[in-house]
Structure 1
Amino acid sequence: MNYSYVIIDDNQESVIETKAMADSFSELSFVGSANNYEEGLNLILENKPQLVFLEIDPKNKKSNLSLALINELYRYLNVIPQIIVTTSKKDLAFEAIQYQVSDYFIKPVTRFDMVKSLLKIGKSNIIDQTEPLKITSKETDPEPEEIIVPSVVRTETLGIQQEPLILCVKSYGDYRYIDTRDIAYFQADNNSTDIHLINGEMVTAFKTLKLFEGVLPYPFVRIHNSYIVNSNCISRIHTGNALCYIKNTAIKLPFSKSYKANIDLIISEISNGNYLEI
């Protein structure tokens, strides 16, 4: 069984090197490559590969390549490809882990890296398959105040049972752990953010709302300059009055025209579930 893959990297030499290594495995089938964020996103959406080799610290900053591409995929795809980060630095490894990438390769990609990654993917049954993944080489001689935010989107992705996403607000040795399922919405307060829980409690984090927007996945959606809402906590959306209603409360959050596309996304996602419209 073959597994399709794409390479998204602003360095063409790295693209060639990664492709040469991947092509030494008969299970991997090359689809294409891209050198920037927009082209990479289009390549993935058009071809829906099972594996993506992604550079997240590009030399050409205008390419806009980063982990943010992963969050964007969740807006359009029900099944997210496995992301293997390929970069030259270890600095972003922790952040990448929070996005639950499949692997993190330091360039140049080695054969041993690839073998371990494919075995891990096969063992975890991450890719839909009817039999265990077998790695076959085309070569004849194999080689011997801080906020911590794990960013994952849907627990049902690829049928994997994932742990609840935990947000840790850390301040002077005090670790406050918050199950993100218990968060109703985030509200900006100058350079800090108030985290409003479903039970009515509020926790203040001395980070901007923009930081949360950049790292939190769906169902958390920015709807206003001052608000990010947990879509699972919305009971009503009134487009005429530009208001979102929070379940089991009297709270109404405004949304602005500049974030209307995000409101449309929420409406679309809700209607894609177990849904009946009358």
Structure 2
Amino acid sequence: MKYSYIIIDDNHESTKETKKIADGFCELNCLGLAGNYFDGLNLTLEKKPDIIFLEINPKNEESNLSLEIINPIHHFLKIVPKIVVTTSNKDLAFEAIQYDVLDYVLKPVTRFHLNKIVSKLNKIKEAQRLANSIDGEYGQAKEYRSAEDDDAMLGHAKKPLMLCIKSYGDYRYIDSRDITYFQADNNSTDIHLNNGEMITAFKTLKYFEGLLSYPFVRIHNSYIVNSDCISRIHTGNTVCYIKNTTIKLPFSKSYKVNIDFIIWQIASGNYLEI
């Protein structure tokens, strides 16, 4: 079985050594190297590797490498790569377990370490294959589904996310495409719609951040924005402009990588820069 990987590490020498060992495995294919948080996240989202070898205790603090990079990866990718922490610091192992990493390897990375990792991945892949095989046996009736049924199911899958704000028997349904941004208000969240209406939900902004995926992106301690509703991003003034309104939402340095991702995502579409 073949597995693609990237290395995110600000130590050039250890990166070179890890890659040298990995190159000795026909099962492993390197897709790229990165030396800081932003480049590592960008490379992950662009290449979508099977494995990330991640340093979480960098030599240079400005590289911002830590376990925190795992959160946006989960947020932006449907299929999350397996994370293998490679570090010289054994004290972060317990914290890494909380992030459900595949393995925690103390440097230097050896052939023995990679043998274990490849074996783990093979077992996971085989378990998935067996599970899919069982599902296939019980799902043979699907082969007889009519084309009309297929179209109906595809149509259902394409339906946008519908939010229901429930309060004392009152069910308020909101099409996610109508939401421009979420704004924190202590332990509740104000949901702003493109028609100017505002609805309050008695959930925290962090709750919505964990629930929603792209195009909804956290840009500030107080804001989650619908990226499809952004008309302008001014990185100098650290603000986003909302389409067809005079609303400007601030973004903070701690969420700058999310702003960079929005810019990258927009540029990856049908795009012309002048």
Q: What TM bracket, shorter-length normalisation?
A: 0.5 to 0.7
Distance 1:93 1:87 in 2: 10
> Where in structure 2 are the equivalents of 1:66-105 lying within 5 Å?
66-105=66-105
The code of the aligned residue for 1:5 comes to Y
- Give the letter aligned to residue 2 of structure 2: N
Change (3 A) 1:109 1:46: same
**Counterpart for residue 57 of structure 1:** 57
Aligned partners of 1:244 and 1:253 also within 8 Å: no
TM-score, structure 2 length as denominator? 0.52
Is the 1:31–1:47 contact (alpha carbons within 8 Å) kept by the matching residues of 2?
A: yes
Instruction: Determine helix, strand or coil for the equivalent of 1:115.
Output: helix
Q: CA deviation at 1:16?
A: 0.4
Partners of 2:127 and 2:119 lie apart in 1 by 11
**Partner Cα distance (1:96, 1:126) in 2:** 25
Maintained 8 Å contact 1:243/1:252: no
For structure 2, the residue ranges without an aligned partner over 5 or more in a row are: 131-181, 209-217, 230-274
Residue 227 to residue 90, structure 1, CA distance change in 2 (3 Å):
farther
Say what the alpha-carbon RMSD is for the aligned residues: 3.3
Q: Which has the higher helix share?
A: 2
What residue is the counterpart of 2:184 in the other structure? Answer: 224
Question: Matches of 2:126 and 2:223 in 1, distance apart?
Answer: 31
Please state if 1:264 is matched with 2:226.
Answer: yes
CA distance in 2, matches of 1:50, 1:111: 19
- Offset at 1:110? 1.4
Matched residues in 1 for 2:45 and 2:127: separation?
17
Q: Counterparts of 1:236-255 in structure 2 under 5 Å? A: 237-239=191-193, 240=196, 242-245=198-201, 251=202
Q: TM-score, normalised by structure 1?
A: 0.52
Distance in 2 (CA, whole Å) between partners of 1:51 and 1:257 is 27
Q: Which has the higher contact order (CA 8 A, sep 6+)?
A: 1
Structure 1, unaligned runs of 5 or more: 131-221, 230-235, 246-250, 268-278
1:61 shift after superposition: 0.3
Corresponding residue of 1:2: 2
Say how many residue pairs are matched: 164
> What are the Cα deviations for residues 16-61 of structure 1, in whole angstroms up to 9, with x where unaligned?
0100111111000011100000000111111111110000010100
Distance across 1 between alignment mates of 2:113 and 2:69 = 23
Shift in alpha-carbon separation, 1:228–1:9, aligned structure 2, 3 A: farther
Q: Distance in 2 between matches of 1:102 and 1:228?
A: 36
Could you tell me how far 1:224 is from its partner in structure 2?
A: 2.8
Structure 1 residues 125 and 252: alpha-carbon distance in aligned structure 2, compared to 1, 3 A threshold: closer
Cα pair 1:90 1:106 within 8 Å, conserved: yes
Counterpart residue identity of residue 224, structure 1:
A
| Equivalent residue number for residue 37 of structure 1 | 37
Distance 1:252 1:95, change over 3 A: closer
Counterpart CA distance in 2 for 1:27 and 1:257 is 38
Matches of 1:45 and 1:74, distance apart in 2: 10
User: Which residue number corresponds to residue 149 of structure 1?
Assistant: none
